Amino acid sequence: MAKRALVSVSDKTGLIDFVKKLVDAGIEIISTGGTKKAIENAGIPVMSISEITDFPEILDGRVKTLHPAVHGGLLAVRDKKEHMDAIKGLGIQPIDFVVVNLYPFKETISKPDVAYDDAVENIDIGGPSMLRSAAKNHRSVTVVCDPADYDLVAESLDANADVPFELKQKLAAKVFRHTAAYDALIADYFTKQVGEEFPEKLTLTYEKKQPLRYGENPHQMAAFYSDPIEDESTIAAAKQLHGKELSYNNIRDADAALGIIKEFKQPAAVAVKHMNPCGIGIGESVNEAYDKAYEADPISIFGGIVALNREVDAALAEKLHSIFLEIIIAPSYSEEAIAILEHKKKNLRLLQVDMSDEPQDFTQYTSVRGGMLVQDLDTKGYADIEENLKVVTDRKPTEAEMESLKFAWTIVKHVKSNAIALVNDGLMVGMGGGQTNRVGAAKIALEEAGEKTKGAVLSSDAYFPMNDTVEEAAKAGITAIIQPGGSIRDQESIDMANKYNIAMVFTGMRHFKH
């Protein structure tokens, strides 16, 4: 009895060549709908699914393969006599190959303003059922869900039109990953449709974008996975124009840099090292902004990542080319700029990222041993607290100080807690982050800024538990402070600010970043 293959695909890439190889191996082809028509048009003999089921396709093709003649032929265990006697008595012939890929649900919901009914109509029912039946019985059935595996299967066919068990097992594992990912996308779509923020079951799916040489350290294995519904404004969707492959640490740093640069509408430049900003500048032009970011810390920027929110021109490229950088991120580059940056910089990674979109309300997932923490990404900025600002000191900030406080508050959100950021004349002049006490973070920031503290402003990601931070700031020449407030000892900090004629503003919002 000839072996049979059931073929029904949405993606017809490489299909005809593969089916020809199956037929050459003596395998009969069964097919449905558009797949059957494509095979027939190629002059390849093919049977209709209705010839197997003795039942017509109904409900606009919604029901065609959901039939005992199909699933009996797939699920019968070949070395169980009672199974084989049962299907023989019912006139069911075994199906030995399943070549199926699914309705394009991901592609459908990726379209802007997709209609709900269109999304629902592109949920495949029969396809996953066939794949799972075949994968469950993989000792006897070869199941192929990915056109990338066609050549491997064709080359592995032996004289008996069969493939090795190890390959069948690998293909079955891929099927279960494939259908699980498909179901996860559907579940996520419906969960969002009904407004469920934190469902009782959380099923996530990501697609492998690239293997990585190693993780955070050389002894750690790693890979990069991306959201299947691609957002053009993310690092995962960045277009790499030049340089060697991104590393694990590169990707994390680049993501941090992109998160900071997208806070700014005006021309801005951000330098990042180990996921912390080491220089941020704003100006009338992106060139001026970069000069300020570089001036903020010309030592730490070495070997770091620079993100810019305007096109890189030749003049800016010359400046960037003069120091060692790992990555440059920008929305675009002039041809002259690319030529300059590529010259003698074969490893410098140039990333192009769409920065036209507003910051998205991403969900943030953080793994812990045995579980996962889920939260909304902190996308709140100065505009969200501006109406509720409260000046708590005798002296109000000047207009220039308020501009600097706004800038400082935007920056400090992206520094590891405990965090202090100092701003003077459109650039970050000092930063203290990741400290176990707030006054320690302030001392680091003040020491880093040196003489640039004179006339600078200070921002804090959380309230001052004591007045010591205010006193250290005053002694260094800080003129204004912005912080959330909310400590039971707020009045002590206010009194200290009044003592040194510092203007202090409370925001009512903190920005912890662990």
Give the Cα separation of 330 and 307 in Å (integer): 6
The token pair at 370 is 């045995």
Dihedral angle of Cα 381, 386, 390, 396, to the nearest 10 degrees: 110
Catalytic residue positions, numbered: 136, 274
Give the three-class secondary structure for 480: strand
Handedness of CA 403, 406, 409, 413 (dihedral sign): negative
Handedness of CA 369, 372, 378, 379 (dihedral sign): positive
User: Which residue in the block uniquely carries the two structure tokens 């999304």?
Assistant: 119
Q: How many other CB atoms sit within 10 Å of the CB of residue 180? A: 13
Handedness of CA 168, 172, 175, 181 (dihedral sign): negative
Task: Name the nearest CA neighbour of 65 among 35, 21, 109.
Answer: 35
Give the three-class secondary structure for 76: coil
Dmax (CA) of the chain = 97
Half-sphere exposure of 225 (CA within 13 A, CB side): 9
Give the Cα separation of 419 and 461 in Å (integer): 6
For residue 391, report the phi and psi dihedrals to the nearest 5 degrees. -80, 120
Give the Cα separation of 381 and 409 in Å (integer): 8
Q: Which long-range contacts (CB under 8 A, 24 or more apart) does 368-377 make?
A: 372/202, 374/198, 374/202
